[in-house]
Each structure stands twice: as C-alpha cells, then as structure tokens.
Amino acid sequence: MSAPGDRELQEWIAAYCDGRIGAEDFSLLETRLREDPEARRLYRRYLNLDAALQDSSEDEESQAWQSPGNPAHDRKVVTGPWVWGLGTALAAALALSLILIFARSGAGPEPAETMAEGFAILTETVDLVWGTPSEPGAVFRRGDTLAAEHLRFESGLAQIEFFGGATVILEGQVDFEIVSPTEAFLHGGRLRATAPPAARGFIIRTPDIKVVDLGTEFAIDSSAGRSEIHVLDGEVEFEGADGNRHRAVKGEAFAYSQDQTAPQSIPADAGGFTGVADLDQRSQHSAQKGYERWAAFSQKRRQDPRLITYYAFDEPGTWDRVLRNSQAPRNPEQDGAIVGAMRFPGRWDYPKSALEFKRTGSRVRVFIPGEFTSLTFTCWARVDSLDRKYNALFLADNYQPGEPHWQFQEDGRLMYSMKIREEGKMRNYIYYTPPVWDISLSGQWMHLAAVFDASTQTVIQYVNGKEVSRERAQKDAEVHTTRIGAGEIGNWGLPTKDDPWFAVRNLNGAIDEFAIYSAALEGAEIREIFEQGTPY
C-alpha cells in the first residue's frame, strides 16, 4: 500500500515534468525531495534514460531553433523566478538519477489509446489501374486500411480482407463500395468472395440482388443490366428487388435483374473468376517484373558521379554483417558495419533485402569522409510504429557544424537538421514536414528524400516522390560547408570511452536502399527514383 502523500508526490512530479506545476506545489516538492530519501527514490523511478539523453546539454533538440512557421516542441517550458531554485532542491535527485526526465507511472489519467479507422485492408494488388474516385485522392496502396470507401478500378486485380473475416478479390473494371466490416456493395464489375464459418453472414449487394453468405465461396458478375451469382462452395442465400429469398448450393448459378420475377438458372462458371492461387501467381510475376525494373535502374544510379555513397541492400543471404557500398567504382572504405539489425526480405523477396532495426541498439555504422556543399538523402523506410520521441533514419555521431540529422519525430513529422554556430555557441536548425506518417501506414514502405540546396539555403523534403515541405534558412542559420564523418543508419551514437550510455533512437521498422548525394537533386529525379523503385 502506498504511504500517505505518495499520490500527491507523484502528481507534483508529473506536473513538474509536464511544465505545469505551480509555485506553491513546486516549493512543497522542493522541501519533500530535500528532506525525504524515499521521495527521492520515488522520483528516480520516473526517470527515463532516453529522455535523459535527449534533455542533456548536448542534445540537439533541447537547443534547437524552431524553423519559422513550425510548431514548437511539445514539452512545455516552466518559467518564473521560483523555477531557478531547482538546482538546490533537486540536485541530489538529478545526480543520483543520471540526469532528468520521467517515465510516468501511476500519475494522472492513462494516455489515450491509439486509434485507427477502418473496416478492411487492401492486402494485394496486381497491375491495378485506378479510375475516377468518388472523392479526390481516394486512391490506395497495398497495405492500406479501408473504411467506408468507394473504390473504382479500370483494370487489374485487388484483394480486400474484411475485418469480419471475409476476403474479396475484385477483377477488371469494378465499382465497389465498402459499407461495414461485414457488408459491401458491388455497383458494377466482377468479384470472388471467400467467407469461412467465422465470417458467416457476410453480405454483398448489387443493384439487383442481396447475397448473404452461409459459410461458402461465391462469385458475382454485375454487368449488362443484371447480376449473376455463382456458388463455388457451400451455400448462399440471395433475394431480388421483389423480396423473395432463394438458396443456392455449390455448382449452381443464377442470374437476376430488377425486371425479373424469379431468378434464371444459368451454367456455373467456377473457372471464370480469379481465385487466391491465381492471384498469388500473378502477384509473384508482377513483383518479379518490378524487381527487374528496379535492378536495371539501380545499375544506372551506381554510375552517378554525384553519389557520395549508395547502399543498394542487394547482398544475398542473411549471415553477412557488412552493408556494402554499391556505387561504381566501389569504395569498400565506405562499407557499413551492421550491428544488431537483422536482414529480411526487402520491398521484394529474395534476392532483395532490407534491414530491420527493432532491437535496442540496432544500427549500421558508417564513416563518410570529406566536405561538401549541397546534400541529398534518399531511402525506403518501413515504419511499424514511432515508439520514441525521435526515430532515426540517419544521424551523424558527434553532430559538429555542417553535420546532418534526419529522423522521424513521434508525431509523424520528418525532421532534417544541421549543426550551426551562433555567436560561438553550437546550435542547430530543424526543418520539419507536416505529419507524413500515422498508425494507418504501419508496415508500409515509403520512399523518403531530404534535399539541402546550399546555393539557396533551402531544404526540400519528399514522400513517395511528392514534395511535402520546402523551407529556406534564416540568414543567421545558413550552412555553406557540410560534412558527415562517422554516423549511423537507423540509430544514433556510440558510448564514449568507458561510458555505456547511448541515446535509444532505433527505428521500429526497416530501411532499404539508402543513398547520399553531394548535390541537390531535382524533384523530377526524386520522382524517378520513387517510380522505378516502388513495390506497389
């Protein structure tokens, strides 16, 4: 059982760390920490090493200049003369706790649960050509979660898995509407649906009929002014506009239109609709073509004289712990050392690989000598979740003047920054994008690019070939000489001397095909890299 006053102490600590503690409560907290060893121990339980390093005097973000027009950091700043007395009361606690910041435990309301919207997932596409969507921008990629969406395709194949358990394969020219996890409306086109016993009751409507699954597999062709229902396995129930219900079993097929008083029996066509096995075969063939397209384009990229380094991630096998610099002519001095990160199939299956950085400490160590002016970073990244305040793509080790950092912030914004000087002090300037990732994109490959144009002192960032932010540096934040040196893909920092502590910023996800250029690539070049390398 908690001792009297523990809850109050927890609330004070939480309020202090949030930057919302009042002067009176601060004075009480100060006294309690000075006089009570148990209170200091409780305070230490609130500490988090990751946040400690982020808030240390060397932390880039704690000293960062916010670029104009971008929101300030989420952390609130406590002001007032009474705050500066912190050193006297909390020095002992802070020293014992390896520098401040808390891991909140039992204080205040629980954080809001992460939510996402959807009824189904677009799990596979093959040569899909989208038609005119019902709403601008209603075009989706494989892996997207779908809510109440109206989908129109001109050609190709799409597989949709409903949260209620049914799977639908759409084929050719299709007009399809998702209504709920257990219901959809086929306005026109062809589909094949599989609804195992756990999905019994799944409903497909057309302009002519309503089909209710009874634990089966069936196909529908809604075109030419009528709807056909073909039962491939099990049993379905269907009814027309007249409200009469009918049942059909495996091997039976019926056609129905609104001007018919009864369904018309027709020959069943089990082989006329694409099934899961056919879809898988066509998907593999499409992926192979995509990989071959990328491989040919990758060979051209390797010859680009502007490349500083290029990691194609195309080494076979899972045992090799070296990430080879693939540019031509090859410079093995810029090979990366894989630490902790695990190889697994990349955007395509073998022989294309990627590296997963889920383990704490996972990283690729690189060393890139030289000085440059403009820089361009490009990579493919698969983000599973943004677990930390900062989630690394590429970070220079010591963060000296002109060295870059490129990472995700926890709110889904990309942030690119470079170290600068201000009146002899080390500062940095951060360029943010709007939020470009949320939980609905978990597990999906994204192409990312950050361009620093030294001639205009502008940073432009891209996602999937499209520009998402453009910002010019203020005069006192300009950088004219860039450098990289020692750095890491997917994490940040090495222990120094005998110090074992390091910032935990490894990306919860994977990285594939990472390149750095000593030039500011044009938007058309970024789009080409995306289009030639997309797995979708």
Query: pLDDT confidence of 12, banded at 50, 70, 90?
Result: confident
User: Distance between CA atoms of 151 and 140, rounded to whole angstroms?
Assistant: 9
Tokens of 152: 């129109």
pLDDT at residue 238 above 70? yes
The C-alpha angle with vertex 517 and arms to 333 and 529, in degrees rounded to 5, equals: 115
User: Distance between CA atoms of 174 and 190, rounded to whole angstroms?
Assistant: 7
Note the pLDDT of residue 5.
56
Strand, coil or helix: what is 484? strand
User: Distance between CA atoms of 385 and 442, rounded to whole angstroms?
Assistant: 6
- Spell out the residues 6+ positions from residue 284 whose beta carbon is closer than 8 angstroms to its own: none
User: Distance between CA atoms of 170 and 122, rounded to whole angstroms?
Assistant: 11
Contact 470, 442 (CB under 8 A): no
Asked whether the CA dihedral 404, 409, 415, 421 is positive or negative, the reply is negative
Note the pLDDT of residue 74.
37
Percent of all residues in the chain with a pLDDT value above 70, rounded to a whole number: 78
Note the pLDDT of residue 38.
76
Tokens of 469: 């932010």
* Average pLDDT for 264-279: 86
- Spell out the residues 6+ positions from residue 50 whose beta carbon is closer than 8 angstroms to its own: 388, 389, 503, 504, 505
User: Distance between CA atoms of 29 and 32, rounded to whole angstroms?
Assistant: 5
Q: What is the pLDDT of residues 134-184, one digit of tens each?
A: 554 467 888 888 988 899 999 999 999 999 999 999 999 999 999 999 999
Note the pLDDT of residue 133.
53
Note the pLDDT of residue 110.
58
Note the pLDDT of residue 424.
58
Contact 204, 220 (CB under 8 A): yes
The Cα-based distances of 230 to 168, 251, 264, 275 in angstroms read 14, 7, 12, 13
Q: What is the pLDDT of residues 274-318, one digit of tens each?
A: 888 888 888 888 889 999 999 999 999 999 999 999 999 887 665
User: Distance between CA atoms of 435 and 414, rounded to whole angstroms?
Assistant: 7
pLDDT at residue 196 above 80? yes
Residue 260 amino acid letter: Q
**Higher pLDDT, residue 410 or 17:** 410
Cis geometry, peptide bond prior to residue 329 (ω within 30 degrees of 0):
yes
User: Tokens 């020692």 belong to which residue?
Assistant: 486
Note the pLDDT of residue 167.
93
- Of 259, 224, 222, 253, the C-alpha closest to 240 is 259
User: Tokens 């709007």 belong to which residue?
Assistant: 434
Among the ranges 41-45, 106-110, 251-255, which has the highest mean pLDDT value?
251-255
Percent of all residues in the chain with a pLDDT value above 90, rounded to a whole number: 45
Beta-bridge partner residues of 254: 229, 265
Q: How many residues does the chain have?
A: 536
Phi-psi region of 500 (alpha: psi -120 to 50; beta: other; left: phi over 0): alpha
Phi, psi of 82 (to 5 degrees): -70, -20
- Of 326, 338, 349, the C-alpha closest to 515 is 326
Query: pLDDT confidence of 91, banded at 50, 70, 90?
Result: very low
Mean pLDDT across the chain, nearest whole number? 81
Give the distance from CA 475 to its chain's centroid: 33
Note the pLDDT of residue 68.
42
User: Distance between CA atoms of 428 and 399, rounded to whole angstroms?
Assistant: 9
pLDDT at residue 386 above 70? yes
User: Distance between CA atoms of 402 and 45, rounded to whole angstroms?
Assistant: 38
Strand, coil or helix: what is 308? strand
Q: What is the pLDDT of residues 463-511, one digit of tens each?
A: 999 999 999 998 888 999 999 999 999 998 775 556 676 778 889 999 9
Domains of the chain with bracketed CATH? 6-96 (no CATH), 120-274 (2.60.120.1440), 289-533 (2.60.120.200)
Query: pLDDT confidence of 14, banded at 50, 70, 90?
Result: confident
DSSP string over 386-401: --SSEEEEEEESS--B
Note the pLDDT of residue 31.
75
